Amino acid sequence: MIHSSSVIHPKAQIGARCEIGPFCVIGEHVVLGDGCRLHSHVVIDGYTELGEGNELFPFASVGLKTQDLKWKGGVTRTRIGDFNTFREHVTIHSATSDGETTTLGSRNLLLAYAHVAHNVQLGNHVIMSNVATLAGHVLVDDNAVIGGLAAVHQFCRIGRLAIVGGCSKVVQDVPPFMLADGNPAATRAINKVGLERNGISSEAQGALKRAHRILFRDGNTLANAIARIESELPNLPELVQLIEFARTSQRGLCK
């Protein structure tokens, strides 16, 4: 199922049951897992590996050289898991320095014109809406949602089950289970809809709501807020994850 107009390097590794439509270009060091589908005009190059069942729509571009001006050559990689969907004009760039990797997990949905820059680490079940943009070295945890036209600054982290509102400018870390929105983005509330859809208990939701108030509404320093959460709220897995995220933040939390 390879269209005659596509250009595929003879050393590229193409898995079983792959469908490659018209005018696609696949480079020498590309590995496509079983059952991938490239609709048309898709470019995959560099040292790029895709797992099984990925679907790429027209003009998606994956694994090309970083846009980072610090690039000095060497072998940089792009690794992508299974059953991801990349819509039209999605761009995913390779890492910057020799031996480094841009990594995406599995079952992610990247809508049209979404951009994943060099050295990004993207988890599983992430949704990036149209024209959402991740700068270099951004970390996105599982089940996060990034709204359309949102832009995330270099080295920021987006926590598990967090949601970033459309057109937001994210310059600090977005905590897990929270909703951030604005320019610059601030942490507005818990991600109630996302928590409910993912089966987070009502007890945990209530505790996270109280933790949000302690962290972002009561005027506490970060250290005092963490101490209050640990002493006043139940020791639930979601709160443990939230506290660990806050403690390890390098850029600070979106407030």
pLDDT at 119: 98
Helix (H, G, I), strand (E, B) or coil at 185: strand
pLDDT at 111: 98
pLDDT at 20: 98
List C-alpha distances in Å: 38 to 5, 59, 120, 147, 243.
13, 10, 23, 25, 42
Q: Which residues belong to CATH 2.160.10.10 in the chain? A: 7-137
**Share in percent of the chain as helix, strand, coil (round to 5):** 15, 30, 55
% of the chain with per-residue pLDDT over 90: 100
CA distance 123 to 72: 27
CA distance 204 to 191: 12
On average, the pLDDT of the chain sits at 98
CA distance 111 to 36: 17
- What's the pTM value of the predicted model, to 2 decimals? 0.97
Cis peptide before 184 (omega within 30 of 0): yes
Mean pLDDT, rounded, for 155-171: 98
The helix (H) or strand (E) run that includes residue 79 is: strand 77-80
pLDDT at 66: 98
Q: Which residues belong to CATH 1.20.1180.10 in the chain? A: 197-247
| Confidence label for 11 from pLDDT (cuts 50, 70 and 90) | very high
The answer to whether domain 197-247 has CATH 1.20.1180.10 is yes
Question: For 78-88, what is each residue's pLDDT tens digit?
Answer: 999 999 999 99
For residue 67, give both structure tokens: 């846009």
| Domain 7-137 fold | UDP N-Acetylglucosamine Acyltransferase; domain 1 (2.160.10)
Mean pLDDT, rounded, for 185-209: 98
Q: At what angle do helices 202-216 and 222-232 cross, to 10 degrees?
A: 150
- Amino acid at the residue 167: C
Check if the beta carbon of residue 84 is closer than 8 Å to that of residue 104.
yes
| Confidence label for 242 from pLDDT (cuts 50, 70 and 90) | very high
